[in-house]
Amino acid sequence: MIAASLIILAQLRVSVPPDTGLRYDAPVAVTRAWLAPGESPAIPSVAFPLDTPVVQRPRAIEYSDSYYTRLTIHRIGSYTMIPLFVAEYSLGQNLINDAAPPSWLKPAHVGVASGIGILFSVNTVTGLWNLWEARQDPDGRTRRTVHSIMMLVSDAGFLAAAALTPERERGFTDFTDYQHRVNLHRGVAIGSFALSTVGGAMMWFWK
């Protein structure tokens, strides 16, 4: 009986496979218990997929000191625009309605018109210069472009109004012809006033 038991135990010992080393699915504490003193476990490297998207940082836009100087000049000019429009409209209406206007009225009307021309020349130069410098800045690009187009159309309107200025000394065929020129001059000027006011208001309210 004893001999049979010894034979069975010997067979079981032979059938058990020898220990092949570390088992990585075992806890760390158990794994370390299997290691010899001073031996480190060999943990296999696992490649994890990069699931975080790479976000490109926006490029900083730098403006020169001259840009802000031109911007200040441009804004000051835009604030004086409305008073000049009001004065020019009032003088023009008096010239049209008065049968015998005072001698100073026409020179005053021409003087204010010249002031508007100088103002729009300065603002056109400073505005287009700054528009070019800010061409890489996407913030407010559409608003700047629309504003610039409206002001350029206003420039053309003021030039057309100046070319359509009625003169009593010119050889009009009759009063109807003269009145038509007056109305045309007045309408183009008022249209330019309105368009430039809307264009300026865009930048006043939206900075």
Kindly state whether residue 60 falls inside one of the protein's structural domains.
no
Q: Specify the pLDDT at position 99.
A: 78
Kindly state whether residue 179 falls inside one of the protein's structural domains.
yes
Kindly state whether residue 186 falls inside one of the protein's structural domains.
yes
Which of 3-7, 21-25, 47-51, 59-63 has the largest mean confidence?
Answer: 59-63
Kindly state whether residue 24 falls inside one of the protein's structural domains.
no
Q: What is the mean pLDDT of the chain?
A: 80
Q: Are 89 and 192 in contact (CB under 8 A)?
A: no
Kindly state whether residue 69 falls inside one of the protein's structural domains.
yes
Instruction: Report how far residue 152's alpha carbon sits from residue 46's, in angstroms, rounded to the nearest whole number.
Output: 64
Mean pLDDT for the stretch of residues 112-131: 96
- Predicted structure pTM score: 0.67
CA torsion sign for 171, 177, 178, 182 is negative
Mean pLDDT for the stretch of residues 195-201: 95
Q: Are 189 and 134 in contact (CB under 8 A)?
A: no
Half-sphere exposure (Cβ direction) of 68: Cα atoms closer than 13 Å? 4
Structural domain range at position 188? 65-206
Kindly state whether residue 196 falls inside one of the protein's structural domains.
yes
- Count other C-beta atoms under 10 Å from residue 203's C-beta: 18
Q: Report the percent of the chain where pLDDT is more than 90.
A: 51
Q: Specify the pLDDT at position 175.
A: 73
Q: Specify the pLDDT at position 173.
A: 66
Give the total number of structural domains in the chain. Answer: 1
pLDDT digits (tens, 9 = 90+) for 52-96: 666 566 667 888 999 999 999 999 999 999 999 999 999 999 988
For residues 3 and 201, which has the higher predicted lDDT (pLDDT)? Answer: 201
Kindly state whether residue 180 falls inside one of the protein's structural domains.
yes
Kindly state whether residue 169 falls inside one of the protein's structural domains.
yes
